[in-house]
Chain A
């Protein structure tokens, strides 16, 4: 358990959704690998449908993985028995996107927060009200309101309750799936601040899934960029933002609106190219960096700097490393 190493280690995680009604099976997550160190945040960004949420759910074993390994605190989760997995959930929690639907509408806040405590028997029954009040204070809410129902709260307050529920059992790792995208902008900043201060206080690790690049930059130590179920770039947040190495990351960063109407209009006029990526499994020959991975037996992943890597198989045709993506 106390073996040195990352808190979470994900290797070659794959999720395949079975074929339905004549459509071929969909590989939603395709050989995704990354580590998260204790007390660190990995930001996972990408467009809708790139497999971010599925990755998060597969790590939490809410979605069966079709391959690969997920190790939390040194324990393999993908092959774990049901009862062991339930016990393991004490260490990993989930903050869902929509605070309006992720709380039971007929349970009071006190009942919602007590549930994880009862399930994991983390505090004696008579101490539960005390712990619930403590949790409310932790997320900046008044412990007096615990007997109200979720619909009596605003979106931001509900998300605080969702966070309190996730923290009830003192987890080490929390998957935050777009935790602020359903909230208004002012509330977003408050929730991001809260997550940040909780991380420092409790030494939490986050997998922070978002499509808002500015928020990810504010919270993440490292950033992973997903496209089409694949990780295309992974590195320290500052490096990925300042010197993106993969054409798709550059595209994504370009998509952030410029707060100048004239320049933004000009940018929209020249429509961004829809990235057409080549390269799937089993491709032979040299990669975009000119290395033959099939021959050398190394993964199709290139380090452009220490700790900063890009996928070298998954590239738009005609683009070369270090070169701007050709505009159409």
Chain B
């Protein structure tokens, strides 16, 4: 399972990294014949103003995945710090952090994202920041839970009795033992984030044009669905493939790490 996940991830990364090299056309170059079907020149046909769908898919993936990865990386960093502090320190600090995160968590993802992007404007930074904020509570909770139990283990008390400082205990004696659930949850969050990013772009709250991305491609192609089905199926399939990659990866990691984790 985990092998399949890594193969899919490798394919995804290859397409994204090599994008400009393997894309047959520039994503904004128009050619005569809009909404054309598949041909030798345009494997997936052209869109409503004659741009190559395959090239736009490849280049659009870069944007979508970049936003996703950066946003999740920020959410993970924030979640690690908040979850570790909350779980390890406990008491009032824990209460304070968790109640604030509960407030964020209580908002539906989309409502919050739409509110922030609408208020601050649909720029790349705002989009990334919004998504990072939205997913921080989930990751913080996944960190906090196991920290709460690991901090009571004997080897932590042993370290304390040796004279190791609290900060070093948290980093060296607690954190390494909670990584497996974090890895799994991060992978799942990546899958969710791909949906969120494309959905926000679909609604017009994504990164501004002309850069293509899967969400806005879907939105543009929607009205010509009957005439050129590939213009919709292409980005849809790309979104499904990308999220599936991370879901498969998460499942694989879970299976792998559950066995013999201790």
Contacts and interface: CB of A to CB of B under 8 A. Distances in A.
Nearest to B153: A101
Interface in A158-205: 162, 165-166, 168-169
Complex A-B, nearest 5 residue pairs according to Cβ-Cβ distance, in ascending order: A89-B163, A94-B161, A101-B154, A102-B154, A116-B162
Interface string B157-193: 1111111110010001100110000000000000000
A115 B159 contact: yes
Nearest to B155: A104
A120 B155 contact: no
Given A86-B163, A89-B163, A119-B163, A105 B177 contact: yes
B155 A103 contact: yes
Contact of A89 (B153, B161, B168, B173): B161
20 contacts: A94-B157, A94-B158, A97-B154, A101-B154, A102-B154, A102-B157, A102-B158, A103-B158, A104-B155, A104-B159, A104-B172, A105-B177, A115-B164, A116-B162, A116-B163, A119-B163, A119-B168, A151-B262, A162-B158, A168-B162
A101 B163 contact: no
Interface residues of B, number: 18
A168 B159 CA distance: 13
Interface string A99-139: 00111111000000001100110000000000000000000
Nearest to A162: B158
A96 B177 contact: no
A102 B173 CA distance: 11
Contacts of A106: 176-177
A86 B164 CA distance: 8
A116 B158 CA distance: 11
A97 B158 CA distance: 11
A66 to B, nearest CB: 18
Contacts of A162: 158
B165 A86 contact: yes
B14 to A, nearest CB: 33
A104 B173 CA distance: 7
A104 to B, nearest CB: 5
A104 B156 CA distance: 8
Contacts of B160: 62
Interface in B172-218: 172-173, 176-177
A96 B157 contact: yes
Central interface residue in B157, B161, B177, by most chain A CB within 10 Å: B161
B259 to A, nearest CB: 14
A120 B168 CA distance: 13
Given A62-B161, A166-B162, 19 more contacts: A60-B161, A62-B157, A87-B163, A93-B161, A94-B158, A96-B157, A97-B154, A101-B154, A102-B154, A102-B158, A103-B155, A104-B159, A106-B177, A116-B163, A119-B162, A119-B163, A119-B164, A120-B163, A165-B162
Interface in A78-99: 86-87, 89-90, 93-94, 96-98
A89 B158 CA distance: 11
Interface string A50-87: 00000000001010000000000000000000000011
Contacts of A89: 161-163
